[in-house]
Structure formats: structure tokens, C-alpha cells
Amino acid sequence: MGRRENNAQQNRPAHDPKCYLCPGNRRAGGPVNPPYRETFVFANDYAALLPDVPLTGGTPDGLFRSEPARGECRVICFSPRHNLTLPEMAVEDIAHVVDVWADQFNELGAKYRWVQIFENKGEIMGCSNPHPHGQVWAGNFLPRFVAPEDRNQKQYLEKKQRLLLLDCVEAELREKVRVIESNPHWVMVVPYWATWPFELLLLPRRHVKRLPELTVEERGSLADILKRGLTRYDNLFETSFPYSMGWHGAPTDDGDYEHWQLHAHFYPPLLRSATVKKFMVGYEMLAEPQRDLTAEQAAKQLQETATVHFKERPTA
């Protein structure tokens, strides 16, 4: 199922005096942003999770059950520039974002079981503010979409004595059909099981359970592959490519998580052009997701896309 969207290209200024996230501006919740010059993190003014929720009120013996959730929500402004998305930033500036992701994971992981770092890019992905930013939500519970990943990775290790996602890395590098980008530390692929048209999976090439475990070299390589891969996204339809992305790493409680491998998911909604969006509705929500093109077809299109951003190409 597809829908045509307005693809009006926005020429945003480097600083928007009306933007809640730009340096020096007042946010919707009242606080004023400092005149920040690099990646900036602040507590979400309208947090979905709060740290002081009473841990009472559950009804575990009834038909309906509920448990309170504690947590914190933060916003990560990637850059002071209102008009720079991740693929348009310099590699060294993206590397600073990676460091902030790792620092936030470390800090919040010391207090909560799960730390979810994510970005919703683009208005059609529900992003209400165009200033490039991501979020981090930390909670005292294991989210429902993470639990199967935890279970399946654990079962695979117990059965094969190998890591599930590292075996996927080896298979993808061997076949090379779905690989979009790779470097000495990372591989970016359209996963074999992809359901979104141009879905991507980003993985380290060695066993890494959580973001803070990455070495300096691996963080630099991550910044480089993010720039190249996300530039391919933008170049595919010559638009600021929308997506939801998120990092999945091992939970941060005292459990044994040697079965976990760090990875990032990218779920973009565009189907055939910058104006046709894929919706997961009807049968796909109620029964089974359906692919509009195969993982191999999607990978071929991305592989044939340039890694120099279309905005940076010389004009005739």
C-alpha cells in the first residue's frame, strides 16, 4: 500500500529563531537552550517515562495485569545547525554524536535495565521538529520488541555455541548480495528478513554487546559508515530520506548477556519514490508483513546509489 507525499524540499536556515531546539532559543516547556556549539543533550520537557513513579498498583493475579514503569527521556540535538542532518554532517561531528550515544548509555544504564537510543527523521515519521535530533529513553523493564531478540540470540548460542548476529555478518560478507557498506569494523546490510522496503541493519564485525564497549577506532569507523549509508538513503530519491532508527544492545542489569550482539535497525517508509510512502496496515498489522520488493532488489538499488550527497554535487 502506498501514498503520495508532498516532497517540497525545504531550504532551512542554519538557525531558526522559532525552533525550540536551536541554541539560545526557548523550548516549548519553558527552559532556554544554552548557546551550544556541539551535540547537546537535555531532559525531555514532556517525558513519557518518569523516574519517580511509585512501584505499586499492579494486579498480577487478575485477568488484566499492569506494572508501573520508571525511566527517563532525553533529547539529543546532533548539531547546533538547524539545517544539517546526520548524512550532511562531517564524519568527525558524527563521531561526537556516537560518543554522546555511548555516554548516555553508560549513565542511564547504571540506573535502568534498558536504554533505547533512537531517531525519528522526517515529518512522515512523526518528527514534530525539523531540527536534526534523536532521543534516548531508559526504563526499568525489557520492551516487548526486544524480548524476542534476547530469547532468540540466547537460544542460538545455546544450540550452536556461536553468536547469531555474528554468523549473519559472516554470511552476508560471504554472499555480498545484500551488503550496502562495510569497513574493517562494521557492516551495513539490507537484512534477509527485511519487511520495510529499504530497511537496513548495522552491525559490528566483532563481538560487542553495548555501545560503550566500542573502541576509538570503531567509533570513528561507525561515523564513517553512517555518513556513507545515510547519504545513499538521501541520494536514492534525492530527498532528505525519512526513517526511524534505533540501537539494540544488551540489557544493563546483572544478567548473563554473552549472547547479545550490538546492532542498529533502520526502518524507512519510502517505497518507490520520494512521494510514495509504504504503510504497514490492514493485513500487515493484523496478520503478516508483506514485502513490496525483495531484500536483494532493495540492496541493488542502494548499492548503485552514490555516496556523495546530492546537495554537494557540482551543478552544471
What pLDDT is attached to residue 10? 64
Residue where the block lists cell 534516548: 136
Q: What is the pLDDT of residue 59?
A: 61
Residues 6+ apart with CB under 8 A from 241: 121, 122, 230, 233, 234, 268, 270
At the topology level, CATH places domain 2-306 in HIT family, subunit A (3.30.428)
Q: Where are the domains of the chain?
A: 2-306
Residue count of the chain, please give it. 316
**What pLDDT was estimated at residue 8?**
47
Instruction: Report the pLDDT value the prediction gives residue 99, as an integer from 0 to 100.
Output: 98
Q: Are 117 and 134 in contact (CB under 8 A)?
A: yes
Instruction: Find all residues with CB under 8 Å of 174, minimum gap 6, and list them.
Output: none
First to last CA, the chain: 37
Instruction: List active site positions.
Output: 133
Q: Which of 131, 136, 132, 123 is nearest to 47 (CA)?
A: 136
pLDDT at 60: 63
Give 10-residue mean pLDDT values along the chain (316 residues). Answer: 49 93 95 97 95 73 79 98 97 98 98 98 88 97 96 98 98 97 98 96 98 98 98 96 97 97 97 89 91 94 95 78
Q: State the alpha helices, DSSP H only, in 51-146.
A: 91-109
- H or E segment at 311? none
The reply to whether the predicted model has a pTM over 0.75 is yes
